[in-house]
Amino acid sequence: MTEQVPVGAGVTVGARGLANPLRDPRDRRLPRVPDPCAVVVFGITGDLARKKLIPAIYDLANRGLLPPGFVLLGFARRDWETGDFEAMAHDAAKNGARTPFREDVWRRIAESVRFIPGSFDDDNAFDLLAQTLIDLEATHGIAGNAAFYLSIPPAAFPLVLKQLARTKMADNDERGGWRRVVVEKPFGHDLPSSRELNALVDEVFTAQDVFRIDHYLGKETVQNLLALRFANSLFEPTYNNHYVDSVQITMAEDGGIGGRAAFYDSAGAARDVLQNHLLQLLALTAMEEPVAFDADALRVEKLKVLGAVSLPADLEGDAVRGQYAAGWQGGERVPGYLEERLIPPHSRTETYAAVRLGVETRRWGGVPFYLRTGKRLPRRVTEIAIVYKRAPHLPFTATDVEELGRNQLVIRVQPDEGVTLRFGSKVPGTTMEVRDVAMDFLYGEAFTESSPEAYERLILDVLLGDATLFPRHEEVEMSWRVVDPLEEYWANTTPQAYPAGTWGPRAAEEMLAAEGRSWRRP
């Protein structure tokens, strides 16, 4: 009989040092690998699937995080010959993979790649898809487990959801496994349409099986914001309105609208970014410590923040929108928004939005939260800047500190993922001159493993049933309560023009200058 030596809860080691595979389920140091399952991507031929989803699936496989019984099913209206889909998927994975591309890894994936041609109103195509999933239970052991990824325009959601309901593919009890759906933003275009969409999805899938994906929440540095706050005692004593002067959350893009003209002109910067990405970052920045790091506990705290958000009393001065005009960027002249292909010549859609919000809680009352997003800005950057108040008394002469700014804690979400702490330090020399310096933490230098792409983490979480990083419908509706009044006010205004390659319209600078502040230049 082999001697057993106890080493901890649920784990034993034999005399030869071989560990029992049983372990504490809360221990996440070992890789989490889902059960055998299928991922069905509707709209597999679109840009999102080719540039993000297929490369992410390859990277997961390359890292050993997909089960042996994994299957990728593509559904699209495309008349492809045998092998055409496999060739497209191969090229998409090779061109977009984050990890080194290995043909042997791809061959293993390719053995379980299927394509179902058809339109969303084609009953026969959906019947074939349903039968294919049944067949995969015997050939790949997926045991009824399937995730449906809606990489399609929101207008097509009702058709696909009704087909999934008709064929019982959304029914967890029908095949004995789990069935989940992934919904891409935008989650409606206002509060009523969001509620209508949520009701439609909830008619077909149970609430815990709906994953509304916001890829920003899958970024390592967004999650590191929670680690920074709740795994350290260093920041908490000053993380409140006694010490913090303001918070700036910026998502700047240096590119234009690209090939998204039809969608973007109907949405604009506020609906495209402010309603989801920026308000989610605000909620994570301002939330209180959750009782546990799980989906329910995080949702409770984020909802408290979103429910406490207040709009400015003066929308004219504290809610600014703009539209980029022709200008110079990267050494070349770029067209203005109204000159972009397929954009109506008199469009009033904003490409820049900035707003001053409040969070009416004991911790944050009186602290302004400045949110801004825009296209054709000088550089691509997303960051959260906690700007501290000046020291109440400085024993130095005015000339000693004339180059001293405010202390800042900056969480850089992209592209240079990391954290910067700015504070004053004496300049070497015979005089007492104090100037700002920065301490930088860079993910790429601190860890040997590079950060996974957001879609890698989020797709894996869907397959594991972990909803921690996915906003629930209550959060979406709370966000629309903030954005709808802004859209209603802006509907009767014309966006201010700003030259491409600049940091936005002058009114955005004036909004902060009126309170003695200025935007941080990333």
CA distance 303 to 127: 40
Q: What angle, 0 to 180 degrees and rounded to 10, lies between the N-to-C axes of helices 220-230 and 279-286?
A: 20
Least confident interval from 303-312, 381-390, 405-414? 405-414
Q: Give Cα separations from 471 to 32, 249, 292, 468 (angstroms).
A: 22, 19, 16, 8
Q: What does the pLDDT look like over 235-277, one tens digit per residue?
A: 999 999 999 999 999 999 999 998 788 889 989 999 999 999 9
- Residues carrying CATH 3.30.360.10, the chain: 217-513
Asked if residue 80 has pLDDT above 80, the reply is no
- Which secondary structure element, helix H or strand E, spans residue 322, and what is its range? strand 319-325
Per-residue buried b or exposed e for 505-521, using 16+ beta carbons within 10 Å of the residue's own CB: bebbeebbeeeebebbe
Cβ contacts of 450 within 8 Å, gap of 6 or more: 98, 443, 444
User: If DSSP codes are grouped into helix, strand and coil, which group holds residue 260?
Assistant: coil
Q: 242, 277, 346, 393: which is the annotated catalytic residue?
A: 277
Q: What is the DSSP letter of 514?
A: T
End-to-end CA distance of the chain: give it in Å, rounded. 65
Superfamily holding 32-184: NAD(P)-binding Rossmann-like Domain (3.40.50.720)
**Mean pLDDT within 95-107:** 93
Q: For residue 214, name the pLDDT band (cuts at 50, 70, 90).
A: confident
**Residue found under tokens 């019984």:** 69
Looking at every residue in the chain, the average pLDDT score rounds to: 88
The question of whether 277 is a catalytic residue gets the answer: yes
Looking at the chain, the domain(s) classified CATH 3.40.50.720 span 32-184
Of the candidates 73, 71, 70, 18, the one whose C-alpha atom is nearest the C-alpha of residue 41 is 73
Q: Does domain 217-513 have CATH number 3.30.360.10?
A: yes
Confidence of residue 401 (pLDDT cuts 50, 70, 90): low
Contacts of 489 (CB under 8 A, 6+ apart): 315, 319
Contact 216, 280 (CB under 8 A): yes
SS3 320: strand
* Closest by Cα among 36, 206, 64 to 133: 36
Q: Residue 463 has what DSSP assignment?
A: H
Given a cut of 70, whether residue 9 has pLDDT beyond it is no
The 10s digit of each residue's pLDDT in 292-328 is 888 899 999 999 999 999 999 989 999 999 999 999 9
pLDDT tier, 402 (very low <50, low <70, confident <90, very high otherwise): low
